[in-house]
Structure 1
Amino acid sequence: MLSNRLALLLTTAITPLLWGTTYLVTTELLPPHRPLLAALLRALPAGLLLVAITRTLPRGDWWWRSLILGTLNIGAFNALLFVGAYRLPGGVAATVGAIQPLLVALLSTGLLRERLSLRTVLTAIAGIFGVGLLVLRANAHLDTWGVVAAIGGAVVMALGVVLSKRWASPAPLLATTGWQLVAGGVVLLPVAFLVEGAPPAFTLQNLAGYAYLTIVGSAVAYALWFRGLRDLSPTDVTFLGLLSPVMATTLGWLVLDQRLTSTQALGALIVLTALITAQVRRTRKTPATPAPVLASVGS
């Protein structure tokens, strides 16, 4: 029987695996050159759906907390992510994004008083190296603003993850998830229309792609993600995000008939090793409990 922690880790790991399908869905089902529209339509409808299901609105401080968390985890993160993806080759953007576990570990020391171990730092560096081998290409070029956007996306998401742990919501999980998705979608709404203009006419294929991203890629994925954050260390959770480029590369190989090199296979192996190493807790020897001393009762 799986331990509660392992079961929770495996459940939370579903989220980055689902996020790893985004590239395939975007390239095969969605209209081209509309990344911000995709980010908007995967966030706002999903959030409204969850709010409608739970029929719960924020109260008190959770109005502004939801706005901040939704902006960090969804709105600003997706905007910066797509800017980086457009200005950089996908491999460079993914490699820069892989710094997120290290950023979360550093932020957790200050905001959550978690101990930063050398093992965590070395494992995070190994994860970045593994993702680089997995997705980086020799002819990749760097664009200054693209790199800044990619780093910015990793920073805002890392801060959002840590604050999600620090601010424990008393509301149901689906309600809290819905609030953040709505907030992130509202932030993205004017940006998407200013940058990309009015949306084009959608085909049935486009609608199927957006429906998948809304229901599976957002409503389900973010609910599982925030559930993991409630009960696990944010550093443990964010290391699971390394599964996303592994899933994207695997689907490219299986579905799109993309070539998988030995270097990519090595990178995937390093990523999985780093991920497992990050989750394995060090066993500490528990000092032997002294036998209780029974007081004698005088006759």
Structure 2
Amino acid sequence: MPLLRTLLLTALAPITWGTTYLVTTELLPPGHPLFAALIRALPAGVIAVILGRSIPHGTWWMKAALLGTLNIGGFFPLLFIAAERLPGGVAAAVAGAQPLILLALGSVVLRERVRPVAAIAAVAGAAGVAAIVLGPSAALDPLGIAAAVGGVTCTAVGIILTKHWGRPPRTGAVAYAGWQLTAGGLFLLPLTLVFEGIPAEIHPDNVLGYLWLTTAGGLIAYALWFRGIERLPVAAPGLLALLSPVVATILGVALAHEAFTPVQLTGLLVVLSALVAGQLAVLRQPRAVTPRAPQPMATP
């Protein structure tokens, strides 16, 4: 089934992003989150544009810049502000609300009907993520909460606009991802140089971590992600994004020897149930036909 294949390929993106926390703590130099975000975005974007052999044209210069800023350039600084001012669990719990934001925006902007199964799955998924990542010591900082909500909203609006505008004719998924990664990287470049700078020393294990973020976490993951956004109903990517905190938690338990409580296990089962129910609803609904650009008539 083409739709099932699209779902599985799109799921690889948040699964890969779930490794970011472990890679950051184990392989990257501390105190340089903006530099890590820049390395994740800009080199991958340039490589993708070269491989895709396509650059924006006309209004797509503005659209690519806006999408890159929302999905990548603006999202990362807000994410890092939230990470600095909130426990990781609180920031991840706020991110778990993204499917609900997507359902609301999709119904208003894209006129997609909110299906009861998708709405229930989104609520259950957010509750499950909260159970996985929230602990008894969770603290709420107003600026941190605002940054976390802002970051989630940025990516939600970016997803909606990506789906609304589609992809220009004769532009592949790799090139399309490259436009956005490059735009986001260029947005991050001055922020990184002004507020953070380049690490004084970069060791071989740091290079390994940066390579993973650039290739798997940047080029490959975003190409699959934007391709999935274009082909799937708006509820599907939002629910698939819940895989990221789930994978991060599982890796923390398996490789970093973090504790795993019965409450977290319950939350994990709830999230997985919500994911399965939400994606089954996507597979059962009639497939939307992607509009194609009109083709020129053949000359007699």
* Fold equivalence (TM over 0.5): yes
SS at match of 1:141: coil
Deviations 1:63-94 (A, max 9, x none): 00000000000011111111111110000000
Of 147, 150, 154, the match for 1:149: 147
User: Given residue 57 of structure 1, which amino acid in structure 2 is its aligned partner?
Assistant: I
Counterpart in 2 of 1:102? 100
In the TM superposition, 1:144-293 aligns within 5 A as 144-169=142-167, 170=169, 171-281=171-281
CA drift at 1:6:
1.3
Q: Partner amino acid for 2:149?
A: I
1:72 partnered with 2:70: yes
Cα separation, 1, equivalents of 2:83 and 2:67: 22
Q: What secondary structure is seen at the aligned counterpart in 1 of 2:241? A: helix
Output the CA distance in 2 between the equivalents of 1:173 and 1:117: 28
Q: Which amino acid aligns with 2:258?
A: Q
CA contact (8 A) 2:35 2:197 kept: no
Which secondary structure state, in structure 1, belongs to the residue aligned with residue 236 of structure 2? helix
Give aligned pairs, total: 283
Q: What is the CA deviation profile of residues 22-53 of structure 1, one whole-angstrom value per residue up to 9, with x for unaligned ones?
A: 00100000000111111111000100111111
Quick one: which amino acid aligns to residue 127 of structure 2? Answer: F
SS at match of 1:200: coil
Larger radius of gyration: 1
Q: Distance in 1 between matches of 2:200 and 2:70?
A: 28
Q: Give per-residue Cα distances to partners, 1:226-269, cap 9 Å, x unaligned.
A: 11112111211121000111100110111111111111111000
Partner Cα distance (1:198, 1:191) in 2: 12
**Inter-partner Cα distance in structure 1 for 2:250 and 2:37:** 23
Gaps of 5+ in 2: 286-300
Work out whether 1:60 is the aligned partner of 2:55: no
Q: SS of the counterpart of 1:281?
A: helix
TM-score, L = length of structure 2: 0.91
- Which amino acid counterpart does residue 91 of structure 1 have in structure 2? G
Identity %: 48
Aligned partner of 1:93 in structure 2 is 91
CA RMSD of aligned residues (A): 1.4
Where 1:258 maps in the other structure, the secondary structure is coil
Listed one character per residue, the Cα deviations across residues 159-205 of structure 1 (whole Å, up to 9, x for unaligned) are: 00011011112211111100000000011111122221343221111
CA–CA separation in structure 2 for the residues paired with 1:190 and 1:145: 23
Match of 1:288 in 2: none
Larger mean Cα displacement after TM superposition, 13-22 or 274-283: 274-283
TM-score (normalised: structure 1): 0.92
- Report the CA distance between 1:118 and its aligned residue: 3.3
1:29-44 → structure 2 map (5 Å cutoff)? 29-44=27-42
- Conserved? CA contact 2:117–2:281, under 8 Å: no
**Amino acid of the structure 1 residue aligned with 2:251:** L
How far is 1:103 from its partner? Answer: 0.6
**What's 1:13 paired with?**
11
Shift of 1:126: 1.1
Q: CA separation in 2, counterparts of 1:198 and 1:135? A: 31
Comparing 142-151 with 52-61, greater Cα deviation is found at 52-61
Q: Distance in 1 between matches of 2:261 and 2:193?
A: 40
Counterparts of 1:200 and 1:164, CA distance in 2: 37
Select between 163-172 and 146-155 the one with higher mean Cα deviation.
163-172
1:116 aligned partner, one-letter code: V
> Is contact 2:118–2:281 with CA below 8 Å preserved after alignment?
no
Partner deviation per Cα, 1:135-161 (whole Å, 9 max, x = no partner): 111011111110000000010100000
The residue correspondences of 1:45-56 to structure 2 (distance < 5 A) are: 45-56=43-54
Q: Give the equivalent residue in structure 2 for 1:293.
A: none
Work out the CA distance in 1 between the residues paired with 2:197 and 2:227.
Answer: 35
Residue 130 of structure 1 pairs with residue 132 of structure 2:
no
Structure 1 residue 120: Cα displacement:
2.5
Distance 1:12 1:121 in 2: 20
